Structures are given as C-alpha cells and as structure tokens.
Chain A
Amino acid sequence: MTTLFTNARLIDPEGGTDAPGQLLVRNGRIAAVDAASDPAALLAAQGLRAEDVTVQDCGGKCLAPGIVDIGVKVCEPGERHKESYKTAGLAAAAGGVTTIVTRPDTAPAIDSPETLEFVTRRAQADTPVNVLPMAALTKGREGREMTEIGFLMDAGAVAFSDCDHVVTDTKVFQRALAYARSCGALVIAHPQEPVLSRGAAATSGKFAALYGLPAVSPMAERMGLDRDIALLEMTGAKYHADQITTARALPALERAKANGLDITAGTSIHHLTLNELDVAGYRSFFKVKPPLRAEDDRLAVVEAVRTGLIDIISSMHTPQDEESKRLPFEEAAAGAVALETLLPAALRLYHAELVDLPTLFRAMALNPARRLGLDSGRLAVDAPADLVLFDADVPFVLDRFKLRSKSQNTPYDGQRMQGRVEATFVAGEAVYRRD
C-alpha cells in the first residue's frame, strides 16, 4: 500500500520547519519527504507508477507527525463506564493522537504483569491507534513496595509511574529509582510536596482566598521537584516529571538538565491554556490536579515549552462521570478529558503567536517518542507513517456532547476553538476521517 500526500503544509519538528511539500508512505512507513510540489517527479525518482499509488490531496492543510500522548487514563480495569479502550481509541484518532501511553491509576492499579497483559489484550482488540501501557512504580500505588519492574518491562510496560500519588517515603522512592535504573526503566513522577498539598482544591492566591477553597502554594511543586532531583543525583535514574506547572519550579529543572541528569519534564494542555480564574463559580470541570495556576505561571510554562526546557505536552486525559463532578468543588473529582481537545487547545498557543507549529509538535510528538525510545514523532524516511492532517485555522465552538469519550468532562465546553483534525493515519492507514 502506497500513499502520496500531495499539496501539504509539512510540519517537521525535527528540522523545525513548516513548509509546503509532499510525503510518500509505503508499507506503513514514510518513504520520502519532498519539498518540491511535483508528484510525477517524486514517483519517478521512487520508481513508482501513478496507478499503484493512492493520492491524498492535503489541500494545503498541515501534515504533521501523529501526537504521542503520555499519561492517558483509560478506565479499564475497574471503571469502564467512564472510558473504555474502544472509546479512548476513537477519541484519540479523532484528536490526531496516534500513540496513547496509558496510565496505571486504574482500580485496581496496573501493577502486575497479569493486569498489564489484560490491558494489552483489551487495547489490541479495540483500539485503532498505538497503545503503550505504563505500569505502577509501587504496588497498589501505595508507595511501600516496588512493583516487578523487570517482569513488567518484559510484558510491555514503557514507563513506571504512581501517577498523582507521590511516593512519600523517600527511602522507598530512592530504592525504586535505583532499581529502575538497573533495568533501564523510565520513571514518571508527580513532583509535589505531599503534605503541603494535602486536601488542596486550588492554588493559593487571591482567587482561592476569595472563594474559600483549600489551597496549596505553588511552591509545593518546586519542593517536590527539588527532592526528586536530589534523588536523581543519588541514583542516576531516568526520570520524567509529569507536569511542571509553576514558574518557580523552572530554574531547578534547568539546573538539573545543565548538570547532566537524565531528566525531562512535561506539562498538561490545561495548564498551558487555562488559569485559576477559569474556575469562576466553582465549575468542577476546571478542577484538575495539580490545580490550575495563576496567569504568570501559565505564561512562564508556555515560554518553557517554547524554549524546550519543558519537553513534553500531555493531554492528562482523565475521564470522570457526571456524578463525580456534580459535587461541591472540594469534593468533586479532579481531571478532564482531553484527547480530542489537545490539538485545538494547543493551537491556541500558535494563534496567540506564543509557540510555532514545529515547536508544538516537538513537544507533542517528537520529544515524547524520543523519551520512550520510539522512532515515531518525525517526518523522516523510515519513520512510521503515524500522521495527522489538520486545518490549523478553521473556527468552531466545542460541544462536549459531541466528544467520543464516554465521559465528557471537558473545561472547553462552549468555548471557541480554532483548528480541527481532518484525518489521522496510523502506519499509513486512515483511522479517522472527518465526515
């Protein structure tokens, strides 16, 4: 199967380019990337006949590497009514996400090879996009005993994380990091001082004070990161901070990178595009973890994405049913669905002229793929043909009831967005086309 994407605006995060061109896909991989616009010449150079090639006219729209999303929660096992592999897969495909890296914070947690195998089977049966599972770092995500990191890697775990549970016992975390290093495993942690942030529903500041919400200082994130960095110096482990959301944590991250530690950092699309004031009248769809920050923090984090200090943007897709959100703000569950809104929301940063498209796809495709040792996330010959075709400019109003996720807890409901996915391809095959 050979497909030629013509008349495209190619977004190449590796080269940092955003330019017209065409792209040839053969046998699920990228066979040629060409800045010229003459299909016949390209086919001739590749020794192909026109009748053997399917042509996809991109109509000048953007063609970029498919998004690699680290930290997607699919609620299997345990809460399939919130999100299944099937619905998550449909949502991902519709959102231009070609690889989802799933979180182990299910009920029960994915902390044994047996559970991981179950999840992998479910994913293969039902999901049109690539699914790579993460496993818990400690059993039951309880922070007491490490999981079978070696066996779990053999079963396909690509990273180890207790998700939003901080491993409070520093000795346990140190040992887990040291052991993970010996296996070559990537550990993903949630940098947060756990005692300071206990019970918090908002970031401390004018807003939380006025609304009388239990709040955590943004400093708790830096304190958590500082501890983790010290442990990396001790253990030399391979580490990724799931969400850096505050300005004060950035200098510590920069120093750790300069000192040569094996550290990367992510942030969530919500912290890049929303701030604490969006919660307004206790709107629980805006309750995420860590809580939304002040506008100064948001801008600092956007800038860190632009410079590359923050490596990765994730959806932090967290489905919650209506019942767990229709509660007083303090009691409501945290999290938001975001697989389908990740790209349009990220394009807000592009339209605000804060970040260009190659930089966005560096953070959403190239860097996460590299961090996981995948060869996707690039528009390069021999890379997997995981691609997203999107119109960066078309405006629309988001209607949450049209989302494909089983849960529709998005903070962007009713908001104006700009940019929409036209089609998504995994290994050269279309897994989504807009009707």
Chain B
Amino acid sequence: MSFEHRHLLGIEPLKPHEITAILDLADEYVALNRRPEKHSDVLAGLTQINMFFENSTRTQASFELAGKRLGADVMNMAMQASSIKKGETLIDTAMTLNAMHPDLLVVRHPHSGAVDLLAQKVNCAVLNAGDGKHEHPTQALLDALTIRRSKGRLHRLNIAICGDIAHSRVARSNLILLGKMENRIRLIGPPTLVPGQFAEFGAEIYDDMREGLKDVDVVMMLRLQKERMDGGFIPSEREYYHRYGLDAEKLALAKPDAIVMHPGPMNRGVEIDGTLADDINRSVIQEQVEMGVAVRMAAMDLLARNLRAERQEKAG
C-alpha cells in the first residue's frame, strides 16, 4: 500500500495514486459495513480522540462510528464547552491531550490552518475534520468514492459545484481532489460567493446556473452557510433559490444520468428542492453518508499502519 503520510491534513499533499489507495480500501470497508457483523480490530488497542472546536453532528458521528467499527477506543470532546472558554490556547490543549497518549486525533476548528498548527505539536496521527475555510479532506474523499461507485470512474467527468464556494472548505477540498484526478470542474454561484481567483486553479466559473449545468455528469450542491455570513452576500433566500436552487427544471439541463450530491445538512427550499433531494434515481445524498463512514475507516486504518510502522522502527 503506497500511502506515506503521518497525518491527513488536506487533499493538497496527496498524490493521485494515494487518493486511489484510500478509495480502494474504503470500498472494502463498504462491504464490511453492509455485513450483519460489521466489526474489525485493525485499530484495537489504539485511542482515538475527536476534538471538535466547532459544532458537528454528522462528521463527528461518522468518525466515531468509523473508529468503533475498527475497534479503537473512541473519546469525544466538545471543545467549545471546555477549556477554550477558560482561556487555554490551542497549543496548550494539544499538549494536554498529547500527554494522554492518543494515537489518532480527529480535529475540527473554525480557523484555517489551525489543524496544521496542532499537528506540529503532537506525537500522533492527526485527521483534519474541517479547518475554517481551508480543507475538509474526508468529505472530498467520500464524495470521490460516491462518484466513482456511481459513475464507474473518477476521471474525465464534468462536475459542477454550486453555491457558497467562498466559505466552503468542502468546495476547496473537492476542487483540489477532482482536479488531481483530471476532471473538468465548474463553479456555479453568485459572484459574492464564488471568488474569481478559483479560475486560476483551472475551474470554469458560471454565475448563470442554467448555463453551468449543461451536460454535467455530477451536480454537487453546497449548503448556504448562514452562520458564516457577515450579511449581505445575497439579497434573500427566495431570490437565491430562484436563481441558484437546484430543482428538476434546472437539473434537466444536465446529462440525463447526472447525479445530485450534497454534503449535508440540507436547507430544503434554499439550495435544493426537497423532492429532488429525496429522488432515489438522481440523489446520492444517502450514499454519501454511507461512504463517509467507510472512507474514514480507510483513512484511519492507513494512518494507523504508518504510525505502527514508525513506532516499530523506533523500538527496533
């Protein structure tokens, strides 16, 4: 297995064959997860700590389940509630946790680069579960796995990413991953939410959704992140839905077999039509959740192998 990283901090440092390696292993875990007895002990004896400095239900649950299915001892820490309020710095928190000898640290933080900073200070493997507006690598990997299983390949596809790109780490990680795998990427949204600089990464930018959706294979919708808005990015939710909400009429412009994705949680009637989101012929939103657990199992498995190898080398 060729995956030589200590941490999973982003998609950016990964090579295409490493992305493929994670996805191949994740495929095996999808099979495991569908069995009645869904347990393995590749992480037995290892401690996984989930540190979420920002609210999360889905990602945290997914990481927790992934760790437990692989036999790790999993602990969740809701960081807003604890030491941050007491004025402890991120580094202090990291050092404190490090002293408890965790093996896998899953971190989400509201500031870009915070997880990189933390990774420099601890002795274990760190998985980025989302840092500010920077990266959310496991989300991009689970999206890639969903696309690969649904389309049979992960290259030469036309993929549209729609909505609040500016505030989205999901969009950044997806843009990098899908670009590395040689797909054509379109970014669709109002100019207030789609920074023009992304054109320099080879993406095509559309402010007309109908034009942007023409003949695409994959439509990735993003959540309109209300909590991230300073205010004034869009005139109103209803105008946004009218121009950029995905409904059957707009989707008809895409390829007939185009799939619809959403990282969740959805704002029905804001960025996506509720009926469309539930349409099992088009929407793969539920599969995405399923793939999420498998991809996280694969990522933690690979990091744990490297961690064990590193420790053996030190001991031997």
Contact = CB atoms under 8 A, between A and B. Distances in A.
Interface of A: 204-206, 208-214, 281-282, 323, 326-331
A328 B197 contact: no
Contacts of A330: 111-113, 132
A281 B132 CA distance: 14
B113 A211 contact: yes
B109 interface: yes
A198 to B, nearest CB: 9
B42 interface: no
B89 to A, nearest CB: 7
Nearest to B114: A328
B111 A328 contact: yes
Given A328-B109, A328-B111, A328-B117, A212 B91 contact: no
Given A209-B198, A281-B113, 17 more contacts: A205-B197, A206-B197, A206-B200, A210-B12, A210-B201, A211-B112, A212-B131, A212-B135, A214-B133, A282-B112, A282-B116, A326-B89, A327-B89, A328-B90, A328-B112, A328-B113, A330-B132
A330 B12 CA distance: 20
Contact of B197 (A209, A326, A329): A209
B89 A281 contact: no
Contacts of B112: 211-213, 282, 328-330
B186 interface: no
A211 B112 CA distance: 7
Interface in B7-30: 12
A327 B90 CA distance: 7
Contacts of A209: 195, 197-198, 200-201
Could you say which of A208, A209, A213 has the most chain B C-beta atoms within 10 Å of its C-beta? A209
B172 interface: yes
Interface in B284-315: none
Contacts of A213: 112-113, 133
Q: How large is the interface on B (under 10, 10 to 19, 20 to 34, 35 or more residues)?
A: 20 to 34
Give 5 nearest A-B pairs by CB, closest first.
A212-B133, A282-B113, A212-B134, A328-B111, A328-B114
Could you tell me the dominant secondary structure of chain A's interface residues? loop
B149 to A, nearest CB: 28
B172 A210 contact: yes
Contacts of B201: 206, 209-210
B179 to A, nearest CB: 11
A329 B111 contact: yes
A326 B169 CA distance: 23
Nearest to A283: B113
A202 to B, nearest CB: 10
Given A323-B89, A328-B111, A328-B112, A211 B200 contact: no
Contacts of A212: 112, 131-135, 169, 172
A282 B117 CA distance: 8
A182 B245 CA distance: 60
Interface in B92-151: 109, 111-114, 116-117, 131-135
B116 A281 contact: yes
Contacts of B197: 204-206, 208-209
A206 B172 CA distance: 12
A215 to B, nearest CB: 9
21 contacts: A209-B198, A209-B201, A210-B172, A211-B134, A212-B132, A212-B134, A212-B135, A213-B112, A213-B113, A282-B112, A323-B89, A326-B89, A326-B117, A328-B111, A328-B112, A328-B114, A328-B117, A329-B113, A330-B111, A330-B113, A330-B132
A204 B132 contact: no
Contacts of B117: 282, 326-328
Contacts of A326: 89, 91, 117
Among A211, A281, A330, max chain B CB count under 10 A is at A211
Contacts of A206: 197, 200-201
Contacts of A208: 197
Contacts of B131: 212
A430 B114 CA distance: 46
Contacts of B200: 206, 209
Nearest to B112: A212
Contacts of B135: 212
Contacts of B133: 212-214
Contacts of B90: 327-328
Nearest to A329: B113
A329 B134 CA distance: 12
A206 B113 CA distance: 16
Contacts of B172: 210, 212
A212 B169 CA distance: 7
A323 B116 CA distance: 17
Nearest to A326: B91
Among B12, B90, B112, B133: residue with most chain A CB under 10 A: B112
